[in-house]
Structure 1
């Protein structure tokens, strides 16, 4: 939700030109009407053909061809916008491209802050708690951001919202895996991935219908507050409860699940589990609180696996988010909203391929094939029609694989911390990487799969 708003809804480019008071007075300052924008016949002698941030120097206050010196350009004092749907026209950013790009930079900084913090919160206080705090906090801050009265207030809201909301999906993914069991990781990926893809496409439709970024935010963010009901609707992860030594709570969750499913759990088995825990005593608490950093120093295998996960994330994120962000710059027959919706829907075939092939073809062969096909499609982009979506499909396959694979090679209790560190390494520079670097990364990144352990 935050990525869609940051890159597609709020800061999308809109047509703008210099305001020429000699020819239009002050009536068209700000957002121009359709007639004012289309009827500017004087633009051919008052404005340069290519430079939208400059206008020709006038010699007097009159609107005639001989008044404007087409050999001397001056910077615009104010701007006229074709549309008023984004913050570009709302806060009069005009040709201040750095301010528009700064929104994405602040978003990335928020992710760098969020990932380690929410990973620690999830592993320390529970998956459900982290999910509720992250989702509801992001919803509240996103809603508050829609009332921003200045550009810098908006930036502050963007930063705080990202700090809380960047970890919603990882928390939900790990919680579902720990509910279903490790053997159902692929199913968990499908169950979460389909609504995610459809939701992204729906958000583009909501923006199209709303037509204004504040209205879009006030429609899109309030449903996040439904996560406040999760403590009463969803149990905590049994695996996390056991890893934290809360055996009585884990037994209670197991009993409730058994009653709901009409199954019977032998009381002797639960009593034996609790008794074994009591016999272990406090020595296990030390191991529980060991932390990922200490484990990384102690175990070389864990270090290698974390490095492999970092390479996976870094290589996939460059293209996955790069294509998502660049989609709004395309101008297809259906406009920017239809283009983004189609790009989001391209994730659905990738989810289906993962579900069908991961157990049959194996993890490493499928990941290698997805990365190589992505590289080939990126290199071939100049020769492909604009509607071709093979690149997005392949990189979605690889990106979706990361969530499925990164849970296997790390100890219980620190899955999210490990994944957050891998995401952290990937998220630092993806937004600023040019297309050529994306293609170069795509060609060589598959080598990281050769370092993956076969049990993933």
Structure 2
């Protein structure tokens, strides 16, 4: 075979250089440590609203029985405790008598046939805004905190994606993280509920895209073999963030101190402008080849490895060819690259599918987490257990994604989530019920976290962050609705989990419409993204041909083919 021809057919790419540099050399480890710190903080911020607006122990304030624990003044709930929001009406003819105060606080002074709403409350705890802003028996105001928080992502994710694609991954990380810190600290000094709820929206609206920005940057620093492990690192830090904020809330018992402790460190990310490495892939996509190659060269020196100079030359030529191809497309169609992207039926199909998968994932993932706090027992421990169950799901993802492929693993995870949650309502309370609940969280975590990798691999580099941002933004409908799902239990106790199960099962079948991306290089252009579908079709055709040939092989008709 002609060596020159073979050389042309085996053109060196960025992923080949990354393989020489090593996915986890000193250079990448240093950058991962910097990137993972905002991810840890993001894990805290995604859970903190559960503890800011956590329900407290309180009862009606009974003027006739001030400073006395008079359970006979309120109707009893199913669990035998006095109602928190209702009390018995006092007999009018007794409340206006000349009896002393203590003489009016007795069972026969209250009309047990008439229940009235409480006018004021006595709080036995004060670690959330419920006591601070007197939100007793206003559960809609508590649940609104979570909805408003997650609604902020409708603004932040596209905004961060725009900054990331236009001005760089590094600037997007810094902007989002510092915005989190500034508005989080200000929220700690809220004077009333209205001020608090506005800041609860602004903080994620400007800083909620930090996870996506960090993930894209980290993903573009490694080759195909390192992507799943990078995702595992991100998921682990996110879980650690959730556990950390839970323990801090349990220890501090003050929502104001909690906000100050977790948000002040985010402001320090500002110094990443001088310490964090920019994505060389982003430099290439902008035609800034020298800067991109400088990043690779810096990595080479830091890791003390040697990359042949001709490799850099070939990568630069390849990047220039892509740039020229994009220019040609623009000249031919008189449209911008982004408009061409939106004219692609393939892109629209992937956008719709990934967006629906994202909406399902966030609805089920956050819905199960939020409802865990309402389960019996210690609310902090319940939340930690539901978060920690994500760790084995992430290990499972690490083992399975590369071995069995993205599509198969994610589809099975969604379908198993659906089966478990649809049947959850038919399982008697106890250990089995708990196991089913945790099983649902396990598989939706496996699907959700795997989706980040899968979705990133089906979109081209130029607008990867923007397209991921669109998917994530639409998907945030699920997380915005999740805090309201407990209200469905008023109509049927297991209606929330039934809804979660049906959407998960449907998502499992939708996954099969996407191309398999396992061990393939990231598409850098629209054409390469379209080639993914063609490769998938070719693979399916080859499998069908092998299946039709199999009977012939077994009978020995075509021994040459068998050999």
In 1: Cα distance, 2:177 partner to 2:158 partner: 16
Which of 390, 394, 399 is residue 356 of structure 1 equivalent to? 399
In 2: Cα distance, 1:325 partner to 1:403 partner: 22
User: Superposed, which structure 2 residues align to 1:17-416 within 5 Å?
Assistant: 17-24=59-66, 40=69, 42-44=70-72, 46-50=73-77, 51-58=83-90, 59=92, 60=95, 62-267=104-309, 270=312, 284=326, 290=336, 292=338, 294-332=339-377, 335-382=378-425, 383=427, 384-386=432-434, 389-416=438-465
- Pick which of 203-212 and 374-383 moved more: 374-383
- Pick which of 46-55 and 139-148 moved more: 46-55
- The answer on whether the counterparts of 2:420 and 2:501 sit within 8 Å (CA) in structure 1 is no
In 1: Cα distance, 2:464 partner to 2:342 partner: 17
Q: Does 1:445 align with 2:507?
A: yes
Structure 1: stretches of 5+ with no match in the other structure:
29-38
Structure-2-length-normalised TM-score? 0.73
Q: Does 1:4 align with 2:47?
A: yes
In 1: Cα distance, 2:445 partner to 2:156 partner: 23
- The answer on whether the counterparts of 2:361 and 2:448 sit within 8 Å (CA) in structure 1 is yes
In 1: Cα distance, 2:313 partner to 2:225 partner: 26
In 1: Cα distance, 2:362 partner to 2:509 partner: 16
In 1: Cα distance, 2:241 partner to 2:127 partner: 21
Q: SS of the residue aligned with 1:364?
A: helix
In 2: Cα distance, 1:411 partner to 1:312 partner: 19
In 2: Cα distance, 1:414 partner to 1:233 partner: 25
Once the two structures are TM-superposed, the CA of residue 182 in structure 1 deviates from its matched residue by: 3.6
Q: Residue 258 and residue 101 in structure 1: after superposition, are their counterparts in 2 closer, same or farther (change >3 A)? A: same
In 1: Cα distance, 2:422 partner to 2:316 partner: 58
Q: SS of the residue aligned with 1:72?
A: strand
Q: Residue 11 and residue 286 in structure 1: after superposition, are their counterparts in 2 closer, same or farther (change >3 A)? A: farther
Structure-1-length-normalised TM-score? 0.89
Q: SS of the residue aligned with 1:77?
A: coil
- The answer on whether the counterparts of 2:160 and 2:210 sit within 8 Å (CA) in structure 1 is no
Report Cα offsets for 1:331-351 as digits up to 9, x if no partner: 23xx11111111111111111
Match of 2:32 in 1: none
In 2: Cα distance, 1:422 partner to 1:391 partner: 23
Once the two structures are TM-superposed, the CA of residue 265 in structure 1 deviates from its matched residue by: 4.1
Once the two structures are TM-superposed, the CA of residue 266 in structure 1 deviates from its matched residue by: 4.6
Once the two structures are TM-superposed, the CA of residue 375 in structure 1 deviates from its matched residue by: 1.4
In 1: Cα distance, 2:226 partner to 2:310 partner: 27
Report Cα offsets for 1:254-287 as digits up to 9, x if no partner: 2211110112345565467667878998885697
Larger Cα Rg: Structure 1 or Structure 2? 2
In 2: Cα distance, 1:233 partner to 1:273 partner: 26
Once the two structures are TM-superposed, the CA of residue 301 in structure 1 deviates from its matched residue by: 1.6
Report Cα offsets for 1:72-125 as digits up to 9, x if no partner: 222222111221111111100111222112212211321111121111111111
Match of 1:426 in 2: 475
Task: Give structure 1 regions of 4+ aligned residues with deviation exceeding 6 angstroms.
Answer: 275-283, 285-289
Q: Residue 286 and residue 234 in structure 1: after superposition, are their counterparts in 2 closer, same or farther (change >3 A)? A: farther
- The answer on whether the counterparts of 1:245 and 1:285 sit within 8 Å (CA) in structure 2 is no
Report Cα offsets for 1:133-158 as digits up to 9, x if no partner: 11121022112211111101111111
CA RMSD of aligned residues (A): 2.4
Q: Residue 287 and residue 125 in structure 1: after superposition, are their counterparts in 2 closer, same or farther (change >3 A)? A: farther
Q: Residue 270 and residue 368 in structure 1: after superposition, are their counterparts in 2 closer, same or farther (change >3 A)? A: closer
Q: Residue 23 and residue 138 in structure 1: after superposition, are their counterparts in 2 closer, same or farther (change >3 A)? A: same
In 1: Cα distance, 2:415 partner to 2:307 partner: 48
In 2: Cα distance, 1:351 partner to 1:343 partner: 14
Once the two structures are TM-superposed, the CA of residue 291 in structure 1 deviates from its matched residue by: 5.2
Structure 2: stretches of 5+ with no match in the other structure:
1-43, 78-82, 97-103, 486-495, 519-563
In 2: Cα distance, 1:81 partner to 1:376 partner: 42
